[in-house]
Structure 1
């Protein structure tokens, strides 16, 4: 995620880091070169004059803009839903940690429960990104818990079960009365819902064929457009074409980037920072004061 003060109007025109310009620069240069060739040849292919006007491009451009807007709205809806789900993870883990410290008897060793919640958060992040969680899990789980996770495909779900078992054991030991255990189960259910919601977003991309149609239409539109403008604007055709191509290519690239909000691209969610923030918050509830410093963005990017 890009974290930086908003530049003034002039510097905002020149910002590269965090924009999609590096991703689409090769396509822009190719489009510019093609538009230059079309302009120099004045729309001719050998001896054949390509007779096109701006009228069909106006109609197609309007339709294309609507579809690109819909694609961006769909991608941003996935991004925002993912952020809301991680906000629920923060709220529910805090509530559970607080309740384990205030509603359960003092000699119940709530630290084990809170550490399992922290391990759940890290396991969820690694599951969504497809990375190895073992290093983070070893910091918070006992050897017995780690041995139970060996071979587990969905470690976050397994850790959530372990946390639930801690509540069951406290209830059976008489350290947590049934009505209070039921209240805590509400938050456990919310964590399970957040886990399922994140898995749904990660495993269900926008239909591939929809992206293919938009991608092909954008490129064909930008490559044919010089033939429709060269007779009316002449030498300014490459400039206008490049500007239009930047708009369409950038919108398509942005929607593709935020479509998968759990990745590591500059505009994806900063799951590393969010996980460490939840970890620090829960440790603070346990009374620990030697807490890690908050993650800082590197070159304006917070991962």
Structure 2
């Protein structure tokens, strides 16, 4: 996620980090070259495109703007919902840790072990969820927080975050049977686990339910058709300025299309995706600090104005 401050008026023209220009420059260049060719034909043979009017392009441009607007709103809604879910996970992790440290009997060794195990499993769940959403290997981040006796069964689990939640639920049941806390507080802590389960399910829903392909295809086709036809309507009235105008319009439409496509899946590692690694590290630091540990991992600093 881009975290740099808004660049000044000069730098904003040349900023590429987080920009969609690297993804769309071939299309913009193609439209600009096509516009230059059509302008050259119009300059050499003035009567080539006299019958073309800008009125149809105005109407089509309005329709295309609406299509792109709807798609960008839908994509940003998915991005913002995902950010809200990870904010909820931060809340749940901190709240569960506070409850564990406050209401689990720590006068006994078994109570202290239960606190430490549950908090470590919460950290492991956070890392496991990030890796599941990004499709990466979680073991290096997860295994160090899970007791070795569970490593084999953990690797065999089809849904690692769900497995860790079930393990945390068993630990709560263990706490109840050994009367490490009251039934009311066990119920409150179980509600936090339920909320974390909701976060997991909602993130999987966002990841596994893309925008309808037919809608995306319609926007793509309309954008290309509009940008390819536009120079024919502008060459007569604008002349050699046509390549510049068409290039700017192509940059705008192709850029909106590419940006909405990028944030449709907000869990990746592109500059405009959510900083899941940073959020996971924040939860890890907070929970280890609550346990009283001093050997804490360092905060993740932005690199080139971007958090991963």
Distance, in Å, in 2 between the alignment partners of 1:129 and 1:44 is: 54
In structure 1, the residue matched to 2:64 is 64
TM-score, normalised with respect to structure 1: 0.96
Does 1:133 find its partner at 2:128?
Answer: no
TM-score, normalised with respect to structure 2: 0.95
Does 1:144 find its partner at 2:149?
Answer: yes
Give 4+ residue runs of structure 1 displaced > 4 Å after superposition. 47-50
Aligned pairs (5 A) from 1:1-303: 1-42=1-42, 49=49, 51-106=51-106, 107=108, 108=111, 109=113, 110-303=115-308
State the Cα RMSD in Å.
1.6
Query: Would you say the 8 A contact 1:137–1:146 is kept in 2?
Result: no
Secondary structure of the 2:117 match is helix
Query: Would you say the 8 A contact 2:263–2:273 is kept in 1?
Result: yes
Distance, in Å, in 1 between the alignment partners of 2:226 and 2:44 is: 18
Distance, in Å, in 1 between the alignment partners of 2:198 and 2:59 is: 44
Query: Would you say the 8 A contact 1:122–1:136 is kept in 2?
Result: yes
Distance, in Å, in 1 between the alignment partners of 2:44 and 2:95 is: 70
Distance, in Å, in 1 between the alignment partners of 2:130 and 2:74 is: 23
- Equivalent pairs counted in the alignment come to 302
Alpha-carbon shift at residue 22 of structure 1 (Å) = 0.9
Secondary structure of the 1:82 match is helix
Distance, in Å, in 1 between the alignment partners of 2:83 and 2:244 is: 39
| Structure 2: stretches of 5+ with no match in the other structure | none
